[in-house]
Amino acid sequence: MVTLYLLTDFGYQDYYVGALKGVIKSICQRAEIIDLTHEVRKFDVRHGAFLLWQSLKWLEKNSIIVGVVDPGVGTSRDPVMIRSGQFTFVGPDNGLFWPAVQSIGSYEAYKIDLRSTGLAERRTGTFDGRDVFAPIAAMLACGKSMDELGFEKKSLEILDLWRIRAEGRRIVGEVRNVDRFGNIVTNIPWSYVRFEEAIVRVGDSYGRARVSPNYEYRGLLLIRGSSDLLEVSIAKGSAAELLNADLNYEISLEVIE
């Protein structure tokens, strides 16, 4: 039995998630399907890539990840299969898989051959998750090889989630996620944090914060998050609301003299 993880921006209002699962089961009944998340911000490939990167080390080895955050559906972007380490990724070649693959360190990629797989005839051009990626993932789960389903692809679209710079006594990074508790998850590694007290700036908003999970200063805390990244938090409150922070915003930390 092979486990398939689904990561999309579909949400649950529509039939889309159910359609993916139905297609997979109709082709490979023994596949086990796990929802990684369907709450990626709509059209936000960076957000999906970050959530996948965060999740990867906790996923079952030798599994298949189907990623569908695909604002370029119907365009010339390639549908791909990627084998990297002990994982296989299926989805659009738009950078969604790059941070996860980069963290593993090596890969082989194949462009899905829509004609030889018979998918070209059933493809609508607006729902490749259902028409292309789900069936390909199911075929792989039931024993097909990437060689049978596509042809080798030399390179992948690159997506950089780790743009960080130092400006004197400031560290400047980006907001990679705002979780449902209002915690601001940055792309700044915790190891970069060397000071006890700082001013946190996001856009036009700012606040003082302490580097301690046990010391609260005006509500804000700088904490070491579960992915070993710097997070800005408030106990039982939303740091994102206080600082008017959102995904992909620039965030800076400045040492207080």
Structure tokens at 256: 């207080």
Element (H, E) at 146: helix 146-149
φ/ψ of residue 31, rounded to 5: -65, 135
Mean pLDDT of 118-132: 95
pLDDT at 187: 97
pLDDT tier, 256 (very low <50, low <70, confident <90, very high otherwise)? confident
pLDDT at 176: 98
pLDDT at 109: 98
Domains of the chain: 3-153 (3.40.50.10790), 165-255 (2.40.30.90)
Strands 170-178 and 250-255: antiparallel
Per the model's pLDDT, the better-predicted residue between 214 and 15 turns out to be 15
pLDDT tier, 114 (very low <50, low <70, confident <90, very high otherwise)? very high
What is the tens place of the pLDDT at every residue in 154-208? 999 999 999 999 988 889 999 999 999 999 999 999 998 877 778 888 877 888 8
**Hey, is 190 helix, strand or coil?**
helix
pLDDT at 196: 75
What is the tens place of the pLDDT at every residue in 11-52? 999 999 999 999 999 999 999 999 999 999 999 999 999 999
Mean pLDDT of 135-140: 98
pLDDT at 209: 82
pLDDT at 3: 98
Residues 28, 3: Cα–Cα separation, whole Å: 11
Structure tokens at 87: 């994982």
Sign for the CA dihedral angle at 35, 128, 156, 82 comes to positive
pLDDT at 91: 98
What is the tens place of the pLDDT at every residue in 67-109? 999 999 989 899 999 999 999 999 999 999 999 999 999 999 9
Residue 229 pLDDT exceeds 70: yes
Structure tokens at 211: 């580097």
Per the model's pLDDT, the better-predicted residue between 205 and 231 turns out to be 231
Per the model's pLDDT, the better-predicted residue between 109 and 218 turns out to be 109
Residue 125 pLDDT exceeds 60: yes
